[in-house]
Structure 1
Amino acid sequence: MANPVTDIVLTSDKLSTDTVIEKISDAKCGAISLFVGTTRNHHDGKEVVKLEYECYIPMAEKTIKNICDEIRTKWPEVFHIAVHHRLGHVPVKNASIMIGISSPHREDSLSATEFAISALKAKVPIWKKEIYCDGSGDWKENKECQWKKDTKSDRSERTEI
């Protein structure tokens, strides 16, 4: 029987649901939960054409790994976890993040997936800039963000979303 996998990917490449599902599929698991966050075409009355993500990869990976460890503590039946986040430019309708979690039964995978996206938004230092149709852009912070007060001084014009 295979050991549990924690697959963390931060990439400028397009994300694939097939890849995530392949990473977390297992014969002992009857449930796969998948969250896909995509770029929407509007925010606060402005037309968004793409998002731009950046991060310090080692810090982001470490924080994501800690979240995955917490998931395994809270839901011991969770087997495989995949967290794939796109960096750089992400056009409208494209995926920015995919979280996949497998477990023997749906309750654990569903609850753990919901926890994972909320924890990622609150804890992982990944910055997002909305780019509008006129070429302008605004850096955004998640309203759940716990670390924003520490980094506020290094970014001007932050807006909560």
Structure 2
Amino acid sequence: MVTELKLSCPPQVHANDHFAMTFAPLSIDEAYRLADDGANGAIVLMSGMVRNNTEGRSVQFLEYQAYEPMALRVFQQIATEIRQTWQDVTHIVIHHRTGKLEIGEVSVLVAVGCPHRSEAFAACKFAIDTLKHNAPIWKKEHWTDGSSSWVSIGACEQNEDSNC
């Protein structure tokens, strides 16, 4: 099941922006295609993946849950803030998975198209950092020893040195 939102209004949300929460695997090719534009000199794409360890503990898999309507509104707000800071941005794509994800699977994609690389990098970094801090998304880490625990992805932002 895919919950997808493509908005051309209200006016603060740009028609070229694309946001999605989905149980289905994320496509790097699709995110890139959605950010592509002839006006771009750069597309910066950040792909967050499931690692096999967290702070020295072996991870078996992750499980993501989200309050999807609010998460999509947070994605829209991130795009609005990006466009206020970097007015030349042409496209913003934010996609996030929910459900069970195995090691190596992509959990989040952020793509930003822009005429200049420095702005594209800065806007993409802002998007993922803000998403991790503000979006109502939680992950449950399942370790190979059979134990597990829930973590708000916002907790990851508070400790950049952690393996979130």
Structure 1 residue 123 corresponds to structure 2 residue 134: yes
Alignment of 1:130-145 (within 5 A): 130-141=141-152, 142-144=155-157
TM-score relative to the length of structure 1: 0.85
Provide the rounded CA distance (Å) in 2 between the counterparts of 1:28 and 1:108. Answer: 14
CA-atom RMSD, angstroms?
A: 1.8
Where does residue 111 of structure 2 map in the other structure?
Answer: 100
Q: How many angstroms does 1:75 deviate by?
A: 0.4
1:55 is matched with which residue: 46, 59, 66?
66
Shift of 1:4: 4.8
Q: Which runs of 5+ in 2 are unaligned?
A: 1-13
In 1, the alpha carbon distance for the partners of 2:61 and 2:156 equals 20
- In structure 1, list runs of 5 or more residues that go unmatched: 146-159
Structure 1 match to 2:98: 87
Output the CA distance in 2 between the equivalents of 1:130 and 1:67.
Answer: 26
Partner of 2:123: 112
* Partner Cα distance (1:83, 1:52) in 2: 19
Q: Which residue of structure 1 aligns with residue 26 of structure 2?
A: 15
Q: CA deviation at 1:143?
A: 3.8
SS of the residue 2:104 aligns to: coil
- Asked if residue 6 in structure 1 is aligned to residue 5 in structure 2, the reply is no
Q: Which runs of 4+ in 1 moved over 6 A?
A: none
Equivalent in the alignment of 2:37? 26
1:74: which partner in 2?
85
- Return the TM-score normalized by structure 2: 0.83
What is the match of residue 155 of structure 1? Answer: none
Deviation per CA, 1:79-135: give whole Å up to 9, x if none.
Answer: 101001010011111111010000111111110001111100111110111011233
CA contact (8 A) 1:4 1:79 kept: no
